[in-house]
Amino acid sequence: TPKTHLASGVVKVPVQGLRRGRCRVEVQLSDGSSALAHYLVLPPLPTQISRVATHWATDAWLPRNSTDPFGRGAAVLPYDREDRRIRLDDGRAYDVGLSDDAGAANNLGLATSQAFAPTSLPLSRLDEYV
């Protein structure tokens, strides 16, 4: 692996994650000790943004004509990954609302994702939400 020796004495070694997952990097120091760094390798940011926007626009999307007991519709609600469904109610009321910190976050996230990587389905969902 090509290394770059900097004037400060630091040695730069380029690394590249080849697939998603956890990894550990161990560095042997000149005094005989070692240092460990743990990493979670993720896909590139544009891929992550696209995936979460698609999730919000499909799986976590509550349609306007839904039979929500609180009359909500056309919004992104929290999604329960274990049950694979939208959370319409929960003991933590703040978690399933639309106007407070937790409730508004998914809709704001969907809007923000479209500022970086706009696609047609999430954009149409935002139009419906507004």
Domain extents in the chain: 4-41, 45-129
Let me know: does 17 contact 41? Beta carbons within 8 Å: yes
If we measure between CA atoms, which residue out of 19, 18, 13, 3 comes closest to residue 37? 13
Query: Any alpha helices (H) in the chain, and if so which ranges?
Result: 45-57, 101-116, 120-129
CA 13 to chain CA mean position, Å: 28
pTM (2 d.p.): 0.73
DSSP state of 62: E
In the chain, what are the helix, strand and coil shares in percent, each to the nearest 5? 35, 20, 45
Q: Give 89 or 128, the one with higher predicted confidence.
A: 128
Residue 100's pLDDT is what?
Answer: 66
Q: Has residue 45 got a pLDDT over 80? A: yes
pLDDT per residue as tens digits for the range 52-94? 999 999 999 999 999 888 888 899 998 889 999 998 887 776 6
Contact 125, 61 (CB under 8 A): yes
The mean per-residue pLDDT over the stretch 3-11 comes to 87
Taking residues 34-38, report their average pLDDT: 95
Residue 72, pLDDT score: 87
Query: What is the tens place of the pLDDT at every residue in 97-115?
Result: 777 666 788 899 999 999 9
